[in-house]
Every structure is written in structure tokens, then in C-alpha cells.
Amino acid sequence: MEDILVFQHDPFEELGIFVPVLEEHRLSCATVRLFEGEIPAEDWETVKALIILGGPMSARDEERYPFLKWEKAIIRAAVKERLPILGIGLGAQLIAAATGAEVYSGNVQEIGWYPISMTPEGQMDSIFGYLPEKPTVFQRHSDGFDLPKGAQRLASSLYYDNQAFRIGKNVYGLQFHLEATPKMIEQWMERHWKELAQSPYISPEKIRADTRSYAQESRYCGERFLTEFIRRLLVSKEQREEKHPAKV
């Protein structure tokens, strides 16, 4: 089995800049393309971490996308087993929903580059705390979510109180997209140009200009975040297992 299991909800929602970081640490991934009806192998529990990518659907759309209900059940099991989990965009919303928090339609559709603010807990976090105090990040969502019970709020923004959170020591949810590359953003805009054209508040040209301004810093933040996620959760987990091997 691969080192990391990746849940992919859309062909244009990929690992992006996370790929070279994973390759540098020699970690392999098994991507489950949920939009094509794929399901993980029966021995998925043996993976070292779970990454849940974004998608155009809502975490509430179980009737239209039945795999979401199954996905939430896996998330709950992974949280119970203290498996390192990273949820991005829809992935963060699914973690929130799976752990009992409400996901709802927000008052503002955030599409493009928006500033977020680190909370005191976020600044002190051993992984998230390496990010700048007020980074500008790429957003693409219209849903928000309540903070899961027992979770730490790591970042917030003007329109959404919960932009990032941590559950325990191993589970992170990010509403924004640190993995997004300029190419991914351009592909998304080309695919959803009709949707963008209908909104008087969203300008594709501004998104492109902002991408040129903020993409480099966002890449640094994404690479640094995932590097610390791997170093502090996956590597330390392996070291603990070497010192205390499972009894048979």
C-alpha cells in the first residue's frame, strides 16, 4: 500500500505544489478518484496519512454525491485511529461535518485571493505557526463551517471565522488552497468561466493579476506547511513505531 491516501473529488483539484514536497521525502500516494467512482483498497487502514482535496460540491450534497457519506465514515474512523489527516477546501468541510460540526452556505462567496489572520493558537502551532501572520491565500468556496468540538481555531478572515483548524495533534483542516498552482487556477477559471461571468463581484483579470502577485509567497507557505506536516507527524510516527513495534 502507498504511504498516503488521497481523496480527489474533481480532475482539476490536484496535489499541485505538494507533489515535489512528497517526492523529496520519498512518500508515495494512492489517489482515489471519487469523481470516477473509485474506492480505496480494503487495506486502506495501513496508510500513514490521509489527504482530502477540494471539490465543487458541498459537503452536504450526500444525495447527489453518495460517496460523501462513505467518505465521512472513513474520516471518522481515521480520526479515531489518530491518523494524520489534512483536509483542503471541501476536505476541511468534510472533516468538520464528519466530526459533528455544521457546514452551511456562507454570506460571501470567496473566489480569488483573500487575506487571512493567524489566531494566537495558530501562531503557536508547531506546524501551522511557520506561516506568515497574515498571508494572502487562494480561496474558492461559498460554504462555511462551525468549529468542530474540541478543535483549535488556527486562522480566520473577515467573512469566515474558521479558515483553519486542528483537531488533537494530527488533524488539520484548511479552508483555503495552499496546494494551488497558477496553472491549476487558470484551468479552473477556464472551466468555470460562465459561473464567473455571472458574478459582478468576481473578476478573472483581477484573479490573474493577484496570482502573479501572491503565487510565489503562497507556494512557499504550501511547501513549508506540508514539509512540517510530514516531518512532525509522519516521520515522528515512524520513529515511535520503530522504538515501540506492534506486538504480534
Summarised one tens digit per residue, pLDDT across range 16-41 is 999 999 999 999 998 999 989 888 76
What is the rounded CA–CA span in Å between residue 29 and residue 47?
9
**pTM: predicted TM-score of the whole model, two decimal places:** 0.91
CA-based radius of gyration for the chain: 17
Summarised one tens digit per residue, pLDDT across range 164-214 is 999 999 999 999 999 999 999 999 888 876 676 666 677 888 999 999 999
What is the rounded CA–CA span in Å between residue 93 and residue 144?
7
Rounded to the nearest 5°, which phi and psi values hold at 22? Answer: -65, -40
All domains in the chain, ordered by first residue? 4-239 (3.40.50.880)
Query: Which has the closest alpha carbon to 49: 16, 93, 1?
Result: 1
Between the CA atoms of 223, 225, 226 and 231, what dihedral angle is there, to the nearest 10 degrees? 120
Look up residue 11 and give its three cell numbers: 480532475
**What pLDDT is attached to residue 242?**
53
pLDDT confidence band for 43 (50 / 70 / 90):
low
Mean pLDDT of 90-97: 97
Mean pLDDT of 233-247: 55
Q: Which residue has the higher pLDDT, 11 or 45?
A: 11
Query: Which has the closest alpha carbon to 116: 84, 167, 159, 85?
Result: 159
Report whether pLDDT(78) > 80: yes
83 with 49: CB under 8 angstroms? Answer: yes
Summarised one tens digit per residue, pLDDT across range 95-134 is 999 999 999 998 888 889 999 999 999 999 999 999 999 9
